[in-house]
Amino acid sequence: MLIKRPDDCPSSSITPRELFERRRDFIKTGAGLALAALLPTAQAAEKLAGRPSLYSSDETQTPYKHVTGYNNFYEFGTDKEDPAANAHRLQTQPWTLRIEGLVQKPKTFDIDQLRKLAPLEERIYRLRCVEGWSMVIPWVGYPLAALLRQVEPLGSAKYVEFISAVQAENMPGVRDRVLGWPYVEGLRLDEARHPLTLLALGLYGEVLPKQNGAPIRIVVPWKYGFKSGKSIVRIRFTDTEPLTSWVEANRREYGFYSNVNPQVDHPRWSQKRERRLGEFGKRDTQLFNGYSEVAPLYAGMDLKRSF
Ligand code: MTE
């Protein structure tokens, strides 16, 4: 995010959705099986289905190739292709998520417990990056609120901090001080509990690919993509606003709220329009990324100041 320009994805690298689907169908057939072994990517990934959700967008989904091949995951490098190339080194088993801080019952969950905690849903959400590109991704997960209530937050808890994993030996990016590690994100408690805020365990009907934040990540669809912390290991309830990695890196450019807002430009990138990966041309960016139901969370706030 610090160094790349918005239009840095060549259109030549875009796979039309039908081509991708045809390839998947081909792989399912006996004739395709032998060839499938030769193909890289995640065809052999464990399936993870979710029931359709009313919160889903009906827009065209961004081809799998972009969703898993054009990523920001600075622990694995700052180029868009770095996470797909390097994230296979992330160790995801065993994995635990600790929830602590201002709560009645701090707890540690393993992935099996997390998968069973609430019914899995498929949520097709828009994701818009502050750099000016966007995607439509079919996530698999459930509302983060279902997890947060397990630990019985205290009345004094006002914020939630999300802390990503650091595996220095597996993450070439953490040698780079481009951000402070671990990657930290945060939400106000009411934002974290909003029914749109998702704990994601999968996408496109499979367990999360590593470059997308395996085995668990947060997805906050009305905020810029960087609010959606990947590969999280700790959630902490606090009474003060968490110092997030991007605010710490550059508080003039990145605010705590970071709601998608075409009226508030980033110093280096206009936020008025966006380019959907896999499409030509640009479209207008919508306030809150089009998720207008979150507006009451910000009633009375000056969103230019609290950007
Ligand atoms: N989480 C961690 N731990 N490290 C990161 O560098 N990048 C963020 C966010 N979560 C990031 C992260 C940014 S800038 C974006 S745009 C989204 O992840 C990208 O998610 P995606 O690659 O699944 O599209």
pLDDT tens string 183-218 = 999 999 999 999 999 999 999 999 999 999 999 999
> Is there an atom of ligand 1 within 6 Å of 203 CB?
no
> Is there an atom of ligand 1 within 6 Å of 61 CB?
no
What digits encode the pLDDT tens for the residues 52-104? Answer: 999 999 999 999 999 999 999 999 999 999 999 999 999 999 999 999 999 99
According to DSSP, residue 163 is labeled E
Mind spelling out the 3-state secondary structure of 209-276? CHHHCCCCEEECCCECHHHCCCCEEEEEEECCCCCCHHHHHCCCCCCCCCECCCCCCCCCCCCCEEEE
User: Residue 137 has which token pair?
Assistant: 């991704």
**Gap from CA of 28 to ligand 1 centroid (Å):** 31
At 20 the pLDDT is 42
CA 300 from centroid of its chain's CA atoms = 28
- Decide if 61 contacts 136 (C-beta within 8 A): yes
The letter for the amino acid at 14 is: I
E strands within 25-101?
A: 51-52, 96-101
Ligand 1 atom nearest to 232, measured from its CA: 3
What digits encode the pLDDT tens for the residues 259-303? Answer: 999 999 998 999 999 999 999 999 999 999 999 999 999 999 999
Q: Name the phi and psi angles at 150, rounded to 5.
A: -60, -25
**Gap from CA of 196 to ligand 1 centroid (Å):** 18
> Is there an atom of ligand 1 within 6 Å of 209 CB?
no
User: Residue 248 has which token pair?
Assistant: 């710490």
Which residue, 206, 248, 213, 208, is CA-closest to 229?
213
Quote the CA–CA distance of 162 and 246 in Å, as a whole number.
13
In this prediction, what percent of the chain has a pLDDT beyond 70?
86
> Is there an atom of ligand 1 within 6 Å of 72 CB?
yes
Q: How many CA atoms lie within 13 A of 138 on its CB side?
A: 20
**Gap from CA of 130 to ligand 1 centroid (Å):** 11
Query: Going by C-beta distance under 8 Å and a sequence separation of 6 or more, which residues neighbour residue 167?
Result: 75, 89, 90, 91
Ligand 1 atom nearest to 1, measured from its CA: 14
What digits encode the pLDDT tens for the residues 94-139? Answer: 999 999 999 999 999 999 999 999 999 999 999 999 999 999 999 9
> Is there an atom of ligand 1 within 6 Å of 230 CB?
yes
Q: What is the mean pLDDT of residues 243-249?
A: 98
Please indicate, yes or no, whether the overall pTM of this predicted structure exceeds 0.85: yes
Question: Which domains are delineated in the chain?
Answer: 9-44 (no CATH), 46-127+137-248 (3.90.420.10)
Q: What value, to the nearest 5°, has the Cα angle with vertex 144 and ends 64 and 140? A: 25
- Decide if 131 contacts 1 (C-beta within 8 A): yes
Q: Is 119 helix (H, G, I), strand (E, B) or coil?
A: coil
**Gap from CA of 110 to ligand 1 centroid (Å):** 22
**Gap from CA of 165 to ligand 1 centroid (Å):** 13
Ligand 1 atom nearest to 173, measured from its CA: 6
**Gap from CA of 258 to ligand 1 centroid (Å):** 14
Quote the CA–CA distance of 122 and 53 in Å, as a whole number.
6
> Is there an atom of ligand 1 within 6 Å of 134 CB?
no
